[in-house]
Amino acid sequence: MPDIDVFAALANPARRQLLGLLLDSGPLPVQQLAAQFAMSRPSVSEHLKVLKDAGLVGERKAGRQRYYELRPEPLRDLTRWLTPYERFWREKLGNLRTLLDEEGDPASHD
């Protein structure tokens, strides 16, 4: 079980950007990840620690380098949890679209 809430980990834009980089590029060393940000390497490492504690990234050591990789399992769990809410809002928006179409159709006011 993750040590930190996945929502809390995803709340920060820098952490979402780190996940995007790992999704696009695969495993990367912390130096390469840090080069993508206008913040210190220790700050990037702290963001990676939050992601790791949430189970969203894995870490492996190769020599003196630490490589990080995306771990999608918590995101899959989150998607499963969010799916009923997505259906709810899709239905509500569909009903709104129907209502607006009827309001805009002069024939429907007779």
| pTM listed for this prediction | 0.74
Residues sharing a CB contact under 8 Å with residue 70, sequence separation 6 or more, in sequence order: 19, 22, 23, 56, 57
Neighbours of 36 (CB within 10 A): 15
Judged against a pLDDT cut of 70, whether residue 98 lies above it is answered with yes
Q: pLDDT tens, 41-91?
A: 999 999 999 999 999 999 999 999 999 999 999 988 888 888 888 888 888
Judged against a pLDDT cut of 70, whether residue 24 lies above it is answered with yes
Count Cβ neighbours within 10 Å for each residue of 74-94 and write b for 16 or more, e otherwise: bbeeeeeeeeeeeeeeeeeee
Residue with the two structure tokens 């492996």: 60
Q: What is the pLDDT, as a whole number, of residue 1?
A: 42
Judged against a pLDDT cut of 70, whether residue 19 lies above it is answered with yes
SS3 62: strand
Work out the average pLDDT over 103-110.
65
The CA-to-CA distance between both ends of the chain, in Å, stands at 60
Q: What is the pLDDT, as a whole number, of residue 78?
A: 84
Q: In what order do the strands lie in the sheet with 57-62?
A: 28-29, 65-70, 57-62
Instruction: Please give the mean pLDDT across all residues of the chain.
Output: 89
6-71: CATH, from 3.40.50.920, 3.40.30.10, 1.10.10.10, 3.20.20.140: 1.10.10.10
